[in-house]
Amino acid sequence: MIDRLGRNITYLRISVTDKCNLRCRYCMPEDGVCKKEHTDMLTEDEIIHAVEVAAELGITKIRITGGEPLVKKNIVSICRRTAAVEGIKEVCLTTNGVLLPQLAKPLKEAGVKRLNLSLDTLQPDKYAYITRIGKMDTFRAGLDAAYAAGFEKIKINSVLIGGFNDDEIEAMANLTLEYPLDMRFIELMPMYDSGDFGIDAYLPYSKVLEKLPEAVAVPQDGGVAKLYRLPGAKGNIGLISPVSAHFCGECNRLRLTSDGKLKPCLHAADEYSIKGLDKAGMKAVFEKAIWNKPAWHGDLDAIHRSQAGRNMNEIGG
Ligand code: SAM
Ligand code: SF4
């Protein structure tokens, strides 16, 4: 479906839970989420009905995210049913990788084509710090399981944080020399309550290019990342710049939270509830949310925080 500004909305990101087995400092508070009533959350059937409605309106790509989607007990079933919806061409999933040793193979068999894994540092002590409770060995086991399961594409997402991982940009980019993966650097976004990061933590994507003078630009692949490649690399470097160079004019996304709110913009306060509605009711709400998609996400920097009113674990990134 086309929004009122002519953007064709083809991509729905579904946060299936706001819960997580890590506590990344930029994403969620140390003491976790304030527990919502079970009855406030979308059921599996409601999620699938939403996907069916979305597909009828022209959505072809779904990303399953969270919170941590793999802590959701029925995640494999949700993925299998989503992939089977007529019109859905691609189901992808974003995960911290912790539960991939158990779930990579079933997810691949359920129809998930591509995986994004999140990793902000290559150093075990810094990984433990930024995730508050994570272990690097666990991440590695998850990555190995993802490769063994044979996903079509694996990408690593790394949030650029000044004073934390800007000294590892080259080392992380060099992963693309060793492995057939894309390494993506994402600018830190100032969410509602996403950690106590000072102004120097907000690095523009250009910082990555300064550190990688040999990287050459390659054509974009339909996503929002600007793509580069190191000579001899097996994968691309992706730069995602929601803060320093927003891409709202080309945004084709819609988001659905685990409590059933459609968000036409990651950083706007606008939310449209589909919880408890039948498919006809959902369709009307989808149409309204898409039509009213904001032109852009507003000022976003260390001082101007996101207007989303939620942390990233509740929206899905
Ligand atoms: N738990 C999964 C994971 O970490 O991959 C999926 C959900 S997580 C919210 C999705 C993505 O959002 C992750 O790559 C994470 O690094 C990113 N993210 C979370 N908070 C962010 C922030 N404040 N700024 C930029 N990216 C953020
Ligand atoms: Fe959990 Fe992902 Fe947020 Fe980290 S970024 S706390 S893994 S939801």
**Domain residue limits at 31:** 11-314
From atom 23 of ligand 1, which residue's Cα is the shortest distance away? 189
Residue 20 has pLDDT above 90, yes or no: yes
Specify if 303 maps to a domain.
Answer: yes
For residue 163, the model assigns a pLDDT of 96
Q: How far is the CA of 179 from the centre of ligand 1 (A)?
A: 22
Specify if 6 maps to a domain.
Answer: no
For residue 288, the model assigns a pLDDT of 96
The DSSP-derived string for 250-313 is G--EEEE-TTSEEESSTTSS--EE-TT--HHHHHHHHHHHHHT--S-----SSSS--SS-S-HH
For 174-198, the pLDDT digits (tens) are 999 999 999 999 999 988 766 678 8
Q: How far is the CA of 316 from the centre of ligand 1 (A)?
A: 7
Specify if 115 maps to a domain.
Answer: yes
Closest CA to 119 of 75, 78, 162, 172: 172
From atom 8 of ligand 2, which residue's Cα is the shortest distance away? 67
For 139-167, the pLDDT digits (tens) are 999 999 999 999 999 999 999 999 999 99
For residue 194, the model assigns a pLDDT of 64
Q: Which residue has the tokens 């919170």?
A: 67
Q: How far is the CA of 293 from the centre of ligand 1 (A)?
A: 22
Whole-number percent of the chain with pLDDT over 90: 77
Residue 68 has pLDDT above 70, yes or no: yes
For 133-142, the pLDDT digits (tens) are 999 999 999 9
What is the number of alpha carbons within 13 Å of residue 187 lying toward its C-beta?
A: 25
> Which atom of ligand 2 is nearest to 21's Cα?
1
For residue 35, the model assigns a pLDDT of 72
Q: How far apart are the first and last CA of the chain?
A: 22
Specify if 291 maps to a domain.
Answer: yes
Residue 159 Cβ < 6 Å to ligand 1: yes
State the Cα–Cα distance between residues 156 and 134, nearest whole angstrom.
Answer: 16
Mutation probe of ligand 2 site: the residue of 17, 19, 23 with most atoms within 8 A of C-beta? 23
Specify if 4 maps to a domain.
Answer: no
Any idea which ligand is nearest the CA of 317? Answer: 1
Specify if 3 maps to a domain.
Answer: no
Contacts of 198 (CB under 8 A, 6+ apart): 163, 302
For 22-32, the pLDDT digits (tens) are 999 999 988 88
pLDDT band at 315 (very low <50, low <70, confident <90, very high): confident
Specify if 59 maps to a domain.
Answer: yes
Q: What is the CA radius of gyration of the chain?
A: 18
Indicate which CATH number applies to the domain containing 269.
3.20.20.70
Residue 66 has pLDDT above 80, yes or no: yes
Phi and psi at residue 50, to the nearest 5°: -65, -40
For residue 117, the model assigns a pLDDT of 98
Residues flanking ligand 2, CB < 6 Å: 20, 22-24, 27-28, 66-68, 96, 118, 312-313
> Which atom of ligand 2 is nearest to 68's Cα?
8
Specify if 34 maps to a domain.
Answer: yes
pLDDT band at 224 (very low <50, low <70, confident <90, very high): confident
Mutation probe of ligand 2 site: the residue of 16, 23, 24 with most atoms within 8 A of C-beta? 24
pLDDT band at 246 (very low <50, low <70, confident <90, very high): confident
Q: How many domains does the chain have?
A: 1
From atom 17 of ligand 1, which residue's Cα is the shortest distance away? 317
